[in-house]
Chain A
Amino acid sequence: MRLLGFRRHPVSEEELSAYLDGRLPTAAQERVDAHLKACTDCSRKLEETLSLVAELRRLPRATASRSFAISPELAAATRREADRARQDERATARRAYLGLSGATAAAAVLLIAVLGVELAPSLGGNGGPASTTPSSREAVGVTAPQGSGEADKALSGGEPDENLAPEAAAPLPSTADEQGRSSANATPAVATPYDAAAAAPQQAQPVAKESSHLLLWIVEGAAGGLIVGFGASAFWMRRRWIQINRS
């Protein structure tokens, strides 16, 4: 019955609403006209809607009990307030922009440092950080002096002895050796005290290669994410700052 009924009323609520406002295209209007003549349900609906609209029109037109015109005093106060808010926002945007730029740069330095640590052994001529003992033994002879030279330059002060002396005296094979060189090569990019302190324990108790690489990747990923995040925020803040300056 409902289905039948639905088909018998080819006039939608929206058409009816537009119809009573006289806003239907001619063809649709003629179709609705024809249907309304034949269908008491729809013509009653139209009547009710017309009554509703008439009642809505007759609703008391509210008038406010006071004026909302902007007095000169209110206008001046509003201007002052707006100016102050603008100044505040400008200062905040500038601070945020500078801070975020700094953070981006710091994350970039971190990423470069970590990449340096990871790629350093491959500069020495063997197949990368994951390579195995035989080739790295050969490489030691070539890279060790270079590594300590760089470290000497970078480590301002008398620290080099602590981490490089054991290496120079008795080149250790594989893991421990590479760890030592890695951190030595990385020194130019990272703050020195950390490496001087960290290199010694690493030589004393070798860390498993796999886990140290995993750690590097995690740090790289995090640094990359920070660069993107801070960089985008800094860019946005700069745009905001320029916008405020212009307005």
Chain B
Amino acid sequence: METHQDAVYGLCLRMLASSHAAEDVTQDAFLAAYRRIDSYRGGVFRAWLLRIAANACTDELRRRQRRPQVSLDDVTGDGSPLDLPDESESPEESLLRTELSRHIQAGLMALSPDQRAVVVLCDVQGLSYEEVSEALHISLGTVKSRLSRGRARLRELLLRRRELLPHPFRHTV
């Protein structure tokens, strides 16, 4: 299970934008997986695990909606695991990247949880459409449409703050 831990934690972190919540939900998901291990019916184990984690995230988000007290400080706070600096970059680049990464995370949070889960699994974690379909228990068509709508929304959100973005976004303008 250990090898899948980062995938599960990464999904939870991007879904919840809070390292505390992500750790709790990841632990819950692993416990739930452990309890339900007899219900594992083959297939890609990681997808099965991610499905449990995605459901746990949805539950957590619903709970949050009922009593909205969780701040998103984690997203922008220094030293957040959401924006670990890349060692190979210069300090300036790294600063820009951190800035961009925060904007992207804020953009992700503006998507519906359904779209966010697809975008995170597909584009952040690099799963194939098929893997995402299995992990979230949705059809390929649903994967495609949620992904395209999520991407379009994110693109519009980021273009609105174009001036803050580093070259990859600016040179296309």
Contact = CB atoms under 8 A, between A and B. Distances in A.
Indicate whether A and B interact.
yes
Interface of A: 12-14, 16-18, 21, 23, 44-45, 47-49, 51-70, 74-75, 78, 82
Interface stretch (B40-48, B61-69, B141-149): B141-149
Contact of A47 (B13, B81, B84, B172): B172
27 contacts: A14-B145, A45-B155, A48-B169, A49-B151, A49-B155, A51-B172, A52-B151, A52-B169, A60-B84, A60-B85, A60-B101, A61-B10, A62-B14, A64-B26, A65-B23, A65-B81, A66-B23, A67-B2, A68-B1, A68-B5, A68-B8, A68-B23, A68-B27, A68-B30, A70-B1, A74-B31, A78-B31
A62 B126 contact: no
B144 A51 contact: no
Contact of A64 (B9, B14, B104): B9
A60 B19 CA distance: 14
A66 B168 CA distance: 34
Contacts of B84: 60, 62
A57 to B, nearest CB: 6
B161 interface: no
Nearest to B125: A61
Contacts of B6: 61-64
Contact of A60 (B82, B119, B151): B82
Contacts of B8: 68
Contact of B30 (A48, A54, A70): A70
Contacts of A48: 155, 159, 169, 172
Contact of A63 (B27, B31, B81, B104): B81
B72 interface: no
B168 A55 contact: yes
Nearest to A69: B2
B149 A13 contact: yes
Interface of B: 1-2, 5-6, 8-10, 13-14, 19, 22-23, 26-27, 30-31, 34-35, 81-86, 97, 100-101, 104-105, 119, 123-124, 126, 129, 144-145, 147-149, 151-152, 154-155, 158-159, 168-169, 172
B129 A21 contact: yes
Contacts of B10: 61-62
Nearest to B168: A51
B72 to A, nearest CB: 16
Contacts of A21: 129
Name, among A12, A66, A68, the residue most crowded by chain B CB atoms within 10 Å (CB to CB). A68
Nearest to A12: B148
Nearest to B80: A62
Contacts of B129: 21, 23
A65 B10 CA distance: 12
B13 A62 contact: yes
Given A17-B144, A53-B123, A64-B26, A70 B34 contact: yes
